[in-house]
Amino acid sequence: MTSLLAEMFGNTRRFLERLGALAWFSLQVLRQAPAAALRPRLVVEQVYHSGALSLVIIMTCGLFIGMVIGLQGYDLLHRIGSEDALGVGAALSLLKELGPVVTALLFAGRAGTALASELGLMRATDQLSAMEVMAVDPMQRVVVPRFLGGLVAMPLLTAIFIAVALFGVQLVGVQFFGIDQGQFWSQMRGAVEPGDVYEGLIKGLVFGMSCSLIAVFEGYTADPTAEGVARATTRTVVISAVVTLVLDYILTALML
């Protein structure tokens, strides 16, 4: 019994230690962000790696989620005779919740793991140490550009995801089930406010910040071994997912 308590206590203490390290690390990254922005070449490269290379998965998943929403939504609304409201429901749920959250989870899986494993590998092969010895600050040269790349990419990916998903919804609803196209869009326009769009984009930005920070942190502080890198990659996805959903609740509560 006491050993269980001791283990829990140890876990809690380790958790708090890690949390503190993450907070401190994030502060460093944010503090150095403006300086790193002075080297746009590095940031552009990272926007490419985190954003452009994630396009395929984002658009594919967006399309299919949109189509599923179309199917399920139509089925549901059909029972109460309000199929025309499919556009409204889909747009609002995608904009405010599904879009930012699913994009963040996909981002963590594709770009987050890439960032973490890349940095972890650089740590394990002494590349970061070599940079230090060459009087190049690895934070500036390697970490912060990757953070900024993810930060820029996420809101854009979120918008693309939502747009493609809406296309998927209308593909199923209008093209397939025959909902009136005019009704579909006009009802949507009637109910969706610019504020809803901004809500979604703000969430995308916040999630981008959190997922990118977690990814670079895990990679940078990974154990310099093969298992260490693998563990860092796994932790990135798990922690990003949990943090995203927690932040989602907080943001939704704040913005409502």
State the residues that interact with another protein by CB under 8 A: 41, 44-45, 47-48, 51-52, 55, 91, 95, 121-122, 125-127, 129-130, 132-137, 141, 152-153, 155-157, 159-160, 162-164, 166, 185, 188-194, 196-197, 200-201
Identify the CA nearest to 136 among candidates 39, 233, 21, 26: 39
Shortest spacing between CB 162 and another protein, in angstroms: 6
Q: Which is nearer to another protein, 166 or 239 (CB)?
A: 166
What residues contact 186, with CB distance under 8 A and at least 6 apart? none
Q: Which is nearer to another protein, 165 or 241 (CB)?
A: 165
DSSP per-residue string spanning 189-230: HHH--HHHHHHHHHHHHHHHHHHHHHHHHHHHTS-SSHHHHH
User: Which C-beta is closer to another protein: that of 180 or that of 193?
Assistant: 193
For residue 35, give both structure tokens.
Answer: 């300086």
Minimum distance of another protein from residue 156's CB (angstroms): 3
HSE, side-chain direction, 13 A CA sphere, residue 164: 19
CB closer to another protein out of 46 and 210: 46
Give the nearer residue to another protein in terms of CB position, either 141 or 231: 141
158/210 with CB nearer another protein: 158
Q: Name the minimum Å distance from CB 246 to another protein.
A: 25
With a CB cutoff of 8 Å and minimum separation 6, the contacts of 131 are 137, 138, 141, 142
Exposed/middle/buried for residue 252 (C-beta within 10 Å: 0-12, 13-18, 19+): middle
Count of Cβ atoms closer than 10 Å to residue 239 Cβ: 20
Closest separation in Å from C-beta 191 to another protein: 7
Task: State the residue for tokens 């879009």.
Answer: 99
State the nearest-atom distance from the C-beta of 123 to another protein, in Å: 11
Shortest distance in whole angstroms from residue 47 CB to another protein: 5
- The answer to whether the beta carbons of residues 91 and 112 sit under 8 Å apart is no
